[in-house]
Structures are given as structure tokens and as C-alpha cells.
A and B are shown apart, each in its own frame.
Chain A
Amino acid sequence: MTSTVSAQQVTQLLELVERFAARAEALGVRIHRVAALDEVAAIAAALAEDGGPAAFPPPRGDQWSAILAPSLDNTHPALRQFLTARGVPLVAVDTAHPTTASVGIALGISAADYGIAETGSLIVADNFPDRLVRMLAPKHIALLNLADLLPGLDQAGERLQQLAGTAAGRYISFITGPSRTADIEMSLTVGAHGPAELHIAIIGAAQG
């Protein structure tokens, strides 16, 4: 969704980035301001190598792997090559056995459609396989284009309304921080059902 963006728009967007990042970081999200896709691959490689948090199921072999949202091959075809070049083991999404297949996968990599500065949320309009990628691994890194930052929920609501009735509008999520629960004695614990770590790489938010 990036196209030509004027200098003034860039300034406004950079202000939005600051607000977005401050609010997301307050919830424990790691924000990565990147200039190019290869930087995302570098971050992803490091995250995959670190493995999953201790409490999560260890890999069957020696190495933790990552899982790439299938649609990224269309929207960001270079990413797979960058990851392979850095030696990140990638496994394919198994929609038939989604939960057992997630054992040993440290990181899911997928794209977000928009960001909401008001709340530090991502908007993700994704299909079933992409959704599995962002939900099942203990860590998730989401790609977000600078130009897709929205000021607030009002603009988010407008986008949802526009998407209504389209294939992409069938299932949309706002994601605001890592999965969490406070159901036991109000003790805040991350990684309840979804990822315990959420990383957002904002592409275009750093000068290349």
C-alpha cells in the first residue's frame, strides 16, 4: 500500500510512528524501525535462533524454526530468500494439523494491514493459514508499512467498513500487544493462547 508519499506526509507519519510505538511498547511490544526487508530478515533470524521461551515445547531436532505466512510470498517475495540466505529453517504451514505442527517453531512471521496510533494496535485482515502463523508460535513478528499507520480507531472503523463484503474483510483482528491473561489472582502473564512476544517491524520508519 506504499506509493508516493510527500515529505509533509512523511513528517506526519513519523509523528504517528512515535505515538504508535510509545503505546505499543508500554504493552511490551518490541518495535523495530527498519528501512528495508533484509533488516527484518536479520531480526527474524536472531529471534528464531534464540528459540521459544523456556516454558514452550522444544524443537524435535536441534534447531528452532520459523514459519512464514504464505501470503508473504506474494506481498514480500524477497523475504523468504533473505531468511534462507541467513540460514533460518522455515517450515510450511500445516492447516490440517495446526497445533501439533507448531511444536519447535519459535517464530511466526506475517504482515499487518494497518497500525492504529491511538492504541498501538495492528489491524490484520488475514486468511486462515496466515492466522495460524501469527497465533501458534510463541513469538510473532509483524511487518507494517509506515504509510499504513492510521491515527485512531475512527479511521480503523472506516477501513473495516470499506473491507466489509470483500474477501479480505471476512476475518479481521486488532492485535494490541502479546497474548495475555490475568485470570489467576490478577497476575499478568503473557503467552496465554497466542504469542508471548510480539515484534513489529515498521518498514520505512528508518532511513536506509
Chain B
Amino acid sequence: MVEQRTKRTIGWGVAALAVASGAAIGGVQAARRALTPPDQRGADAAEAAERHEPEPFAVRYRKSLADDRMRAGLLRYQRNWRSGRDAAFRQYLAAEDGGKSFADLRTELAAVKDRVIASPEQYFAQFKAAAERNGAIVYESTSPDDANRYIADLCARKGVRVIDKSKSMATEEIGLNHYLEERGIHVSETDLGEWLVQLSAERPSHLIAPAIHMDRFVTAGLLSQATGQPLEPDDIGGQVQAARQKLRDDFLRARLGVSGANAVICETGTTMIVTNEGNAELVTSLPDIHVVLVGREKLLPTMADAMTQLRTLARSATGQAISVYTTFVSGPDRPGKEVHYVFVDNGRTAMAADPDFRTALRCIRCGACANVCPPYQVVGGHAFGYIYTGAIGLVNTAFHHGLAADAGPQSLCVSCNACATVCPVGIDLPRQILDVRQKVVAEYGLPWYKRPILELWSNPTVFDRAARAAARLSQPLAAPSGPFMRKLPGASNYQSWRSLPVPAKVPARDQLFGGVTAGVPVAPRLAPALIPTKVTGKRVAYFIQCLTDRLYPQMAEATVRLMQACGAEVVVPAAQHCCGLPAFDSGDWERAKTMARATILALEEANAEWIVTAGASCAVAIAHEYPHLFKDEPAWRTRSEALAAKMVDLTTFLTTIAQVPDGALAAGDGEPVAYHNFCQSHNVLQLREEPLRLIRDVLGRAMVELPEANVCCGFGGSTSFDKPELSEHILARKLDNVDQSGTTILITDNPGCIMHLRGGIEASGRTVRVMHLVELLDEGLQAKFPAAFAE
């Protein structure tokens, strides 16, 4: 206990320092352990199990972190999926018989789904009429329990003791298996992955690959026990065949089959189900009763729309052009057969009514969002989700299972936006997850250790004073080897795997507008106009960014020098502080708005043609998040939109706007560099070729390829603070890729990534140099025009 208190005290000291230094990292692990996330209040593991709910989030998270075999499997899975999925869309586009691009397919399918979301009653009525014409029975349940009851009553009425099922997330959502088993009805899952999960008394950890968290040793154990045959882990074919034989017996006994639906088609009253195994063909054929459990979001107006969905579904799910079996059931196909539809709402109507979340109903359950998600790779779907997994699970859990169930899982999102790039129906998942986070904070409050940090951060005067104090106090903590802090006791979770930076003695603001606290001073002249560009003579306001200001003033200097060399008149609004991203990212909209308003005022005052920052995440926050932050404040929304039109990151400024010509900064060879494309630069700002063009063509520098260059480094803003273990694993993946590239210099364009990467590289004893793109370009500038910079 004493030890813990000491740790906590030391932890607080570290926190205060780190906060003020802008590192957003504190040694509060002991305190953090004492916290009780909202989804655990009043519930322990035993109670959760009794109610057939997932274990508390903290338990799921802890277990997942301990499972290295799962993590290795998920990494292989994500990498295989990525190449297979990309190839599938590429092949379709290049097909001689006329394919469409992923973007076009997405637009097409999203439009179809939106039609249904806008008029659910009309489409439901059309479907119901068509299904009834086909001889099916359509039941609208009033609650998940009512849906379960309908199916249990049907079993009772028909004397059914055994049912078989093809994979259905809707049945997982309502807990159908437990409901029936409690009433003495045996449920046999027929999808192999789903059966494995049933055998291990777990839940699916992925929308389409339920048992992806298991390896062949686990499956061999489960299947040996279930089939009574000894099965070898390495003989996966043998495992599958043993399962096939065992499940055939169940097929014979089952009198009722339950399926979900990939789509229900209004014009024909048809259910569409896709599988690779063919189990849905058997589940919907062999028993005399077929029950389809489905939500209205699966309605599609026409058969042509179903074909549109098929073109994107399997490519997104598994990289196949189409799944092996696509089954279309339109009512009973033989005398004595019954087909029942049970519609379940469970929060869907509320989702449709909420303009911020409506589009989440477009989801076709392909699982792509999990397959690109860095945190999902680390913890798997049992922690990264509740019943539904992956990014979509972090959104719809709040509606289907309540906000408390989502409080833990949503905290794992690093806002890298990768999910948004592969979602085949264009759901704005990253934004919706942050909206869920805001709801969690509004309902349960911020974690207590974050409140003082954000309070301090949101007050420019207090922050400035604290940051200066921290810079002074931390200098003695600097390791002799470089600008990193010595390892401190009691903060091992935070520091064992990354070194924390020591703040700069003098912040960038002192150099750029020392002593001034208001107005828009012109930046000191650091370079003459050397390169004729499209911004020659244009007034450009520079937004410094917190980490650049307090930790890396040399980046600020390089940015101003480069813009001046391009002929821009650079001004630096003196009232600028933080854009508010740390608060927004934490779900603290009130403080985020306070900081956003102050930032808008400061930047408006500059009256500049462009506002430029070399902190790409701030450009994203200001240009992309502000308008949403002020969605309910029209006046501020309008102002934020006007500001968004002027706000650019440095890479866009140099390429698209200034159009710096090729070779402009080329000054001889240097060591080849690798480029880490900061996830939001790639995924939100859509920067693909631009940074590479700057390095290769403008600077003339050789490059080496960095595998998974667009995948998050693990910084993830507040996530690296809240979930350091998660952050550590994501960083390890990045550094492994850096090792594979063989590079000695790693370039990126976001100071948060730089802090994180430098820290991880230093702590692991690697020697790779991490630089901001602007520092690399600035080296070229100074080498190319030595006379201009001769002191």
C-alpha cells in the first residue's frame, strides 16, 4: 500500500511535468488502475456471466493484452486481408467486361441504403406484402426479448427440441442461443467459426471470422473434444472434415433452422444469405421451418440493388469477387415448409432518427473496418467491441446495448481513420466513434486524471506558465545521452518502451513573437525569397502547434524559413494557443469549444490568404472537426467553415498551393529516407503522392519503401495516454516495419508521431533518425542556397 502511494505521488509529479511539456503523457498508472470504467459500475464478472453478458471491459482488455498468439494471428490476418481485398477491387476495375472503382461502388451502394434509411416504413410495408404473397409469415418484434419469445414459442408449438443456425449477428445481438438453451432447446451452430466459438463458450470476435482469435491448437482441442476424434493441430483439413461429419448429424436432427440475412429484398420478398461453407443452404433447406432474424437496415428495394451489394460485400469481406454460396429464399419451397421473418429493432429506429449516426445503418457487416484497425489487431474483437466488433461495433453498441457497454471499447479508438477508407458504404466511422466518446464523457464524466490536465491545457495563460516552469524544472532530468528524460520510477508502463522528450528551453513563440501577447506580428526574417512559387507575395498565417512550440522549436523555425523562401509573407497570430484537439479527442466538447473559439478568433485576426501548420493533426482538427464541433451553434459553424477553407497542412501548402517546382530544393545526394504517412494525413487529408513528390522530386532525395507506411504509429492522441499498453503494441508494429525497410532516416509530417517514434526508437536502442518533413526540406534549402544562410 505504501509502495503504491509512493508510486502514485511520483506518478503525479511525472504527470504535471509531462502535461506542461505538451507530451500528454503522465505516470498515473497506479491511479489509473484504481479507476472503475462506467461499464463496470455495479457489475462484476460473475454477475455479467449470469446475465450472459460479456465480462467487464477491463477484464476483456487485460485478457486480450496477455494473448500474444492471438495478436500474431491477427497481424497475419490483417496483412493477408489487405493484399487480397486491394487485389479484388483492382481486378474488378481492370476487368475487360467493365468494372467500377471502389469509390463508385461505394457511392452507389450508400445511395441505395440511404433510400431505405429515409423511408423505412414504406420499404418494410413493401417487403412484408411481397413476403406474405410468397407464403412467408412476417413478425415485427417489440423488443429483443419478444423476438426470442416468438422463436421459443414457435419451437414449443411445433415440438422442436433441436435447431440449427447459420451465422447471424442479429441472433448474437438478442442472445437467442442462451434464451433457447435455458428453455431446453439445443442450438447447433453450423458455421465452423461460429461453432468453435459456441464450443468455447465465447462470442464471435469478428463479424465474419468469429473464431479468428483462436489458433489451430485451440481449435484442435475444441474439435477433438466435440467430435470424440483425436485431431492434430497441424491437420486443419482433418479438423474441418471432422466438424463436417459431426455437424451433418445435427442437421438431420434439427427441425427448425435460424438464419440472419445479408439483405431482404422488398420487390420480391426475398432473403439473401451469403456463405462460403454452404451451411446456410442446408439450414434453410433441411428443416421444415426456417426463421429469418433481421433488422430493417437490411432492406434493399430491388434485386438489382442486391447485385450492387454483392459486388462490394465479398471483396470487402474476404477479397473474393463473390462468396461461394449466395442463397435467395422467397418463401416456402415445398409443401409443409414454413418461413418466418422476425424483425428486430433494438435501437435501430433511434439510430435512424439521429442525423449523426443514421449512416451507421448502412453497414453490410463485411468486417473491413476491423481488418484495417491497428487497435483491433492488438486486442481483438472481444475487447474492441461488445457483441458487434470493429469500428462499427464501437458505434452501434451504444444503440443496441447501451452507452455503458460502449464506454470501455470506444476508448480504444486511436482516430487513425483507416476504417473510413475501406468502409464499402462510406460510414463516417471515426467521427461517429468520437461522437460516442463525447456521449460517454457527457454521461459519466472525464476520467478524473484527465480533468485537471485538460483544465490546465484549455487556459492559455496557466498553460504557458506551467509549460515554462516544466521546461526549467525538467532540464536536470535530461538524460546525458540526448533530449530525453531519464527513466523515472513508478512509470514503467509509460516509459519502459518510449523515452519522453525534454521540453525546449525556449519555446518557438518566443523566437517568433517574443514579448507580444496580442495582434498579428510579422515573423522575423529567417530566409529571403529564393524560389518563385504561387505564394510569392501572399500573406500566410502560421499556426505553430503545441508540441512544435514547446518541444521542437527548430521545426517552427524551419517552417517559417521554408515559407519565406517560397516568397510568402509570414505572420504569426500572437494569441494562438492549442486548437483544442486534445480535449476534442478526449470527448470533452466544452473545453474543445473554448479552445476552438479562441483559435478561430486568433486566426481570423490574421486576415491571411492561407493559414498553414506543420502539425497535420491540427489541420485536420481545424478544417475537418470544427464545423462538426459547432454543429449546433450556427454562427460559430459558419466562422469555422470559413476558416476551414483557408486552413492547410504544410505538405498541401507546398505542393498544391505554392506548387514548389521539381528540383527547387535539390542539393546533392543524401542517405535514402523512408516516409511514414501520418494516418490522418493519408486517410483524412488524402495526402498520397504529395509528400513523396516533395521528397523525390522537389528535394531529389532517394527513398526506400516503408511497409504499411499508412498504418498508425500508435500515438493516437489521448489513447496513448489512456491505454499505453495498446499504444506500445501499435508502435512495435510500426518499428518492425521500419526495421524491415532498412532505413536510417524516417520522415513524417506530424509532431505527435515524431515524439512517439523518437521515444520508441530511443528506448529500444535503435538508431534511426526521425525528422519532420519540414526539417528535411529545410536541410535541402540551406544546402542549396548556402549564401543566403551564411552567418
Contacts and interface: CB of A to CB of B under 8 A. Distances in A.
Contacts of B791: none
A172 B311 CA distance: 18
A50 B328 CA distance: 33
Contact of B97 (A19, A102, A194): A19
Nearest to B98: A152
A176 B212 CA distance: 24
B237 A164 contact: no
Interface in A160-208: 160-161, 164-165, 169-187, 189, 191-194
A6 interface: no
A151 B307 CA distance: 13
Interface in B226-281: 236-241, 244-245, 247-249, 251-252, 267-270, 276-279, 281
Given A128-B333, A171-B329, A160 B192 contact: no
Contact of B318 (A23, A179, A182, A192): A182
B507 interface: no
Nearest to A121: B322
Interface stretch (A30-38, A70-78, A93-101, A105-113): A93-101
Contacts of A102: 248
Contacts of B251: 99
A189 B237 contact: yes
A154 B322 contact: no
A153 interface: yes
Contacts of B285: 128, 131-132, 135, 171
Contacts of B302: 157, 161
Contacts of A48: none
Contacts of A5: none
B248 A185 contact: no
Contacts of B95: 118
Given A154-B304, A181-B192, A173 B236 contact: no
Nearest to A119: B322
B178 to A, nearest CB: 22
A56 interface: yes
A179 B243 CA distance: 14
A37 to B, nearest CB: 27
A99 B249 contact: yes
A180 B318 CA distance: 12
A82 to B, nearest CB: 28
A179 B334 contact: no
A192 B240 contact: yes
A185 B73 contact: yes
Contact of A99 (B96, B248, B284): B248
Contacts of A185: 73, 215-216, 219, 236
A17 interface: no
Contacts of A177: 324
A194 B281 contact: yes
B328 A173 contact: yes
A171 B281 CA distance: 10
B241 A55 contact: yes
Given A117-B97, A179-B325, A184 B192 contact: yes
Contacts of B267: 161, 164
B324 A169 contact: no
B307 A157 contact: yes
Contact of B240 (A154, A174, A175, A191): A191
A135 to B, nearest CB: 6
Contact of A184 (B76, B239, B279): B239
A86 B328 CA distance: 36
Contacts of A184: 192, 196, 211, 214, 216, 219, 236, 239-240
B209 interface: yes
Given A99-B252, A181-B240, A165 B268 contact: yes
Interface in A136-158: 151-154, 156-158
B211 A170 contact: no
B334 to A, nearest CB: 5
Contacts of B564: none
A25 to B, nearest CB: 13
Contacts of B279: 192-193
A102 B249 CA distance: 12
B307 A153 contact: yes
Nearest to B274: A174
B276 A171 contact: no
A177 B326 CA distance: 11
A127 interface: yes
B270 A164 contact: yes
A183 B334 CA distance: 32
B278 A98 contact: no
B408 interface: no
Contacts, number: 182
Contacts of B211: 183-184
Interface string B404-426: 00000000000000000000000
Contacts of A151: 97
A183 B167 CA distance: 12
B104 to A, nearest CB: 14
Given A135-B281, A164-B268, A186 B240 contact: no
Nearest to A172: B328
A118 B281 contact: no
Contact of A157 (B249, B303, B325, B330): B303
B133 interface: yes
A84 B334 CA distance: 30
Contact of B244 (A170, A172, A187, A193): A193
Contacts of B282: 135, 193
A179 B278 contact: yes
B321 A23 contact: yes
B306 interface: yes
Nearest to A185: B216
B321 A160 contact: no
A20 to B, nearest CB: 11
- Which of A120, A183, A186 has the most chain B CB atoms closer than 10 A to its own CB? A183
Contacts of A19: 96-97
B576 interface: no
B334 A127 contact: yes
Nearest to B197: A183
Contacts of B322: 119, 121, 153, 174, 176
Interface in B315-344: 318, 320-334
A38 B267 CA distance: 41
B190 interface: yes
A19 B303 CA distance: 24
Given A119-B321, A135-B278, A153 B334 contact: no
Contacts of A165: 133-134, 268, 330
Contact of A179 (B73, B214, B321, B324): B324
Given A131-B285, A193-B277, A175 B307 contact: no
A179 B282 CA distance: 12
Contacts of A172: 327-328, 330
Given A127-B334, A184-B236, A193 B190 contact: yes
12 contacts: A55-B238, A56-B241, A128-B334, A151-B97, A153-B307, A157-B302, A160-B306, A171-B329, A179-B278, A184-B196, A191-B241, A193-B244
The 6 closest A-B pairs by CB, nearest first: A194-B278, A183-B193, A192-B277, A164-B268, A55-B241, A174-B326
Interface of B: 73, 76-77, 80, 95-97, 133-134, 190-193, 196, 209-212, 214-216, 219, 236-241, 244-245, 247-249, 251-252, 267-270, 276-279, 281-282, 284-286, 302-304, 306-307, 310-311, 318, 320-334
Given A157-B303, A161-B267, A183-B196, 5 more contacts: A164-B303, A164-B330, A179-B277, A181-B240, A193-B282
